[in-house]
Amino acid sequence: MIDARIDIQHSTLKTIQGLLRALLANGAVDGLLVPMSLPSGSVAPMLVTDPDALDQADPLAPVLPINAARAASLLTATDQQRTLGLVLRPCEIRALVELVKFQQANLDNALIIGIDCPGTYSVTDFQAADKDTLTSELLAGIASGEPRPHDGLAFRDACHICEQPLPQGDHLALAIGLAGVEPGSLYLRARDDLAETLELSPGEPPAGRAAAAHTYIDARTQARDAAFAQFRDRVHDIDSLLHEFSTCIRCHNCMINCPICYCRECIFRTPTFEHESQLFFQWAGRKGTVRMLPDTLLFHLTRLNHMVTSCIGCGICADVCPVDIPVGTIFRTVGQKAQAIFDYHPGRSLDDAAPVQDFREDELTTLGERHS
């Protein structure tokens, strides 16, 4: 990997568009998955093969409509004939790393291009606001290590508590640094072949980068710990647990949009729990009442069991919840404990097997013994 500093031409966005265009025009990639600005002003990830179309690329727009790791999975899981550049946020990269472990994506012919993330707004907040102002405020903020939300707006809950806002790991082909950069410049960390394609001259990371990153990661780690403590305070017994999920309408939105929930046939989308009417009557006879649709809490409990160790905290589940259950915070809080058992950090490295697909003979040795 090569560290480099490049000067901003016109604007940060135009400079990044220029880098992406160079990758596409020079044949380093055959296509790019990148957030694009639409005529309506909204932003959506698109597969781009025409270098000229990159004028509309907007990877700096502070919004996360979907976790694009799902799109990366769709483009790479089957035969991947062409080289694909994936322009992703750090949480999307972490999700993609998990999907690779579960054989739902393949990076053999893909280049991951990460960009420092100052935080994102909800789709509706972003849509209603002056988008250029939101973006430029955050660019200035992240450079100084204090990206703050626009007056009157808040970051998405997941971003507010995100302690991993910088792309990291050996799987990155190119990282675009915004945190702690000197005015008028960008910081790049590129794989050697890409550095050559982009004609980068080796340099040092910006002097202020570590301090700037530290400042805002510290603030968000504190916010994270506060959110975890708040959840543990709020949910501590059966009544409070039932209360937390009581508004769930079992729409499955959280599961459908979760990048980690990849199962083609989820047990909750099969007739497994679609019992005959008389069985519901039997259960009602026992309990007095049976919630319909059934198995609302079972759905969440099962999703936790299946994927909480790989939850990378993008928070899309909470964004798509129509009744505002803080699903993302719940998964992150529970995930912290479940991941700690295996000292596992989802999305960190392709070399760490996910807990549910691995085991060690010499671990958890008291579990299963008589007096554990």
Binding site for other proteins (CB under 8 A): 232, 235-238, 240-242, 246, 267, 282-291, 295-298, 301-302, 304-306, 308-309, 333-334, 337-338, 341-342, 355-356, 358-361, 363-365, 367-370
**Cβ-proximal residues to 314 (8 Å cutoff; 6+ apart), any chain:** 64, 67, 91, 92, 94, 95, 158, 259, 328
C-alpha span between 93 and 167 (Å, rounded)? 8
Write down the least CB distance from residue 309 to other proteins, Å.
Answer: 6
Q: Which is nearer to other proteins, 264 or 360 (CB)?
A: 360
Q: Which is nearer to other proteins, 30 or 273 (CB)?
A: 273
Q: Which is nearer to other proteins, 151 or 343 (CB)?
A: 343
Write down the least CB distance from residue 32 to other proteins, Å.
Answer: 37
**Cβ-proximal residues to 25 (8 Å cutoff; 6+ apart), any chain:** 51
Write down the least CB distance from residue 370 to other proteins, Å.
Answer: 7
Q: Which is nearer to other proteins, 128 or 273 (CB)?
A: 273
Write down the least CB distance from residue 171 to other proteins, Å.
Answer: 25
Q: Which is nearer to other proteins, 251 or 364 (CB)?
A: 364
Write down the least CB distance from residue 263 to other proteins, Å.
Answer: 11
Write down the least CB distance from residue 346 to other proteins, Å.
Answer: 13
Q: Which is nearer to other proteins, 264 or 287 (CB)?
A: 287
**Beta-sheet pairing, 2-7 with 31-37:** unpaired
Q: Which is nearer to other proteins, 219 or 304 (CB)?
A: 304
Label residue 199 left, alpha or beta by phi (over 0 means left) and psi (-120 to 50 means alpha).
left
Q: Which is nearer to other proteins, 9 or 240 (CB)?
A: 240
